[in-house]
C-alpha cells in the first residue's frame, strides 16, 4: 500500500495586471520618431550630459517624453544620494569616507545598471518604468504631457 494522496493540481497563476493607465501606449510612428531621442538621452546620461531635457522641453512625442522623465528621476535620485553621502563625510569630519566610498561605488554600479535597463526599454520602444525609482517619475511628473502643434496636450 502506498501512502501517496492525490492532491489537486495547483491553481493557475493570476492573470497579468494591465499596464498602468499613466504609461503611454505609443503608435509605431511615435516609436519611430521618439526612439532616437530616448536612446540619446540615456546614452548621454552615462557621461552626465542632461540631454533628456530636450524632450522635456519639446514634448513632441510620448516615447521620448516618457524616457526623459525616467532619466530625470534617475538624475534626481543620484543628486539626492550624492548629497546625503557628502553630508555624511562632512558630519563625521572625514571619518565617514570608510562608509561612503563603498556605498558610492555600489550605488554607482546600480545607477549604471538602471540606466542600461532604461536604454534597453527605449531601444525596444517600450514604456516600462525603471526599477525602484521609475514609478516616482510617473507620479511626480504626471503633469508633463505631450504638446501637439496647436498647443493642446495629450
Q: Digits of tens for pLDDT over the chain (154 positions)?
A: 556 667 777 776 554 444 555 577 777 888 888 888 899 889 888 888 888 888 888 888 888 889 999 999 999 998 999 899 888 888 888 777 888 889 889 998 999 999 999 999 999 999 889 888 888 888 998 888 888 765 555 5
Q: Are 69 and 57 in contact (CB under 8 A)?
A: no
Q: Buried (b) or exposed (e) across 37-60, using 16+ Cβ within 10 A?
A: bbbbbbeebeeeeebbeebbeebb
Q: Minimal CA–CA distance to 139: which of 78, 70, 64, 57?
A: 70
Q: E strands along 21-151, which residues?
A: none
Phi, psi angles (nearest 5°) of residue 23: -80, 130
Question: What is the pTM assigned to this prediction?
Answer: 0.76
Q: What is the DSSP letter of 132?
A: T
Amino acid at each position: 500500500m502506498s501512502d501517496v494522496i492525490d492532491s489537486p493540481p495547483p491553481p493557475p497563476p493570476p492573470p497579468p495586471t494591465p499596464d498602468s493607465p499613466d504609461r503611454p501606449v505609443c503608435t509605431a510612428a511615435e516609436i519611430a520618431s521618439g526612439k532616437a531621442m530616448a536612446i540619446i538621452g540615456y546614452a548621454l546620461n552615462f557621461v552626465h550630459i542632461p540631454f533628456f531635457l530636450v524632450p522635456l522641453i519639446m514634448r513632441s512625442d510620448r516615447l521620448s517624453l516618457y524616457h526623459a522623465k525616467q532619466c530625470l528621476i534617475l538624475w534626481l535620485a543620484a543628486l539626492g544620494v550624492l548629497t546625503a553621502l557628502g553630508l555624511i563625510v562632512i558630519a563625521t569630519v572625514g571619518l565617514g569616507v570608510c562608509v561612503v566610498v563603498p556605498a558610492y561605488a555600489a550605488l554607482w554600479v546600480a545607477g549604471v545598471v538602471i540606466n542600461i535597463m532604461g536604454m534597453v526599454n527605449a531601444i525596444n520602444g517600450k514604456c516600462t518604468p525603471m526599477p525602484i525609482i521609475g514609478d516616482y517619475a510617473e507620479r511626480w511628473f504626471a503633469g508633463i504631457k505631450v504638446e501637439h502643434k496647436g498647443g493642446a496636450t495629450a
